[in-house]
Amino acid sequence: MSETVIEAKDLTKRYNGTAVVKGISFAIPRGEIFGLLGPNGAGKTTTILMLLGLSDITSGQARVLGRDPVREPLAVKRWVGYLPDQVGFYDNLTAADNLRYTARLIGLKRDEREHRIKDALVHVGLGDVADKRVLTFSRGMRQRLGLAEILMKDAQIAILDEPTSGLDPQATLELLDIIRELKHRGVTVMLSSHLLDRVQSVCDRVALFNHGNIALMGTVTELGREVLGGGFNVEVEAQGQGLGEKLAAVTGVQKVEPAGPDRWRLACERDVRPEAAVAVVAAGGRLLRLSVEEPSLEAIYTRYFQNAPSDEGGRHAA
Partner 1 sequence: MQREGSPWQGLGVVISKELSDQLTSIRMFVVELIVVLIAIITVSFASEQVKQTTAEDPFLLLRLFTTSQDPFPSFFQFLNLLVPLIAIALGFDAVNSEHNRRTLSRILAQPIYRDALLFGKFIAGLLTISIGLVVLWLLVIGLGLIQLGVPPSLDEVARAFIFLLVTIAYAGVWLALALLFSIVFRSAATAALVTLGLWFLFTLIWSLIAPRIALSLVQSDDLSTLIFAAQSAARLSPGTLFSEASSLILDPSARTVGPVYLYLPQLQGAVLGAPLPLDQSLLIVWPQIVGLVAGSILLFVIGYIVFQRQEVRA
Query: Which of 23, 29, 60, 84 touches partner 1 (CB under 8 A)?
Result: 84
Q: Check residue 188 for interaction with partner 1 (CB under 8 A).
A: no
DSSP-derived secondary structure letter, 296: P
E strand or H helix at 208, and its extent?
Answer: strand 205-210
- Give the Cα separation of 211 and 39 in Å (integer): 9
Query: Which of 2, 25, 59, 92 touches partner 1 (CB under 8 A)?
Result: 92
Show the DSSP H helices in the chain as ranges: 44-51, 73-79, 95-106, 110-123, 139-153, 169-184, 196-202, 220-227, 243-248, 273-282, 297-307, 309-317
The residue among 83 and 190 lying less far from partner 1, judged by its C-beta, is: 83
- Give the Cα separation of 22 and 14 in Å (integer): 8
Smallest gap from residue 101 Cβ to partner 1 (A): 5
Q: Check residue 110 for interaction with partner 1 (CB under 8 A).
A: no
Query: Which of 19, 75, 171, 287 touches partner 1 (CB under 8 A)?
Result: 75
Smallest gap from residue 138 Cβ to partner 1 (A): 15
The residue among 142 and 198 lying less far from partner 1, judged by its C-beta, is: 142
- Give the Cα separation of 76 and 81 in Å (integer): 10
Q: Check residue 275 for interaction with partner 1 (CB under 8 A).
A: no
Q: Check residue 116 for interaction with partner 1 (CB under 8 A).
A: no
Total number of residues binding partner 1 (CB under 8 A)?
35
Q: Check residue 78 for interaction with partner 1 (CB under 8 A).
A: yes
Find the binding residues for partner 1 in span 138-167 (CB under 8 A): 146, 149
Q: Check residue 91 for interaction with partner 1 (CB under 8 A).
A: yes
**Taking the CA of residue 200 as centre, how many other CA atoms within 13 Å lie in the half-sphere pointing to its CB?**
16
Q: Check residue 19 for interaction with partner 1 (CB under 8 A).
A: no
User: How remote is the C-alpha of 50 from its chain's centroid?
Assistant: 18
Smallest gap from residue 157 Cβ to partner 1 (A): 11
- Give the Cα separation of 23 and 233 in Å (integer): 36
Query: Which of 28, 33, 42, 77 touches partner 1 (CB under 8 A)?
Result: 77
**Taking the CA of residue 285 as centre, how many other CA atoms within 13 Å lie in the half-sphere pointing to its CB?**
26
Query: Which of 3, 16, 107, 128 touches partner 1 (CB under 8 A)?
Result: 107
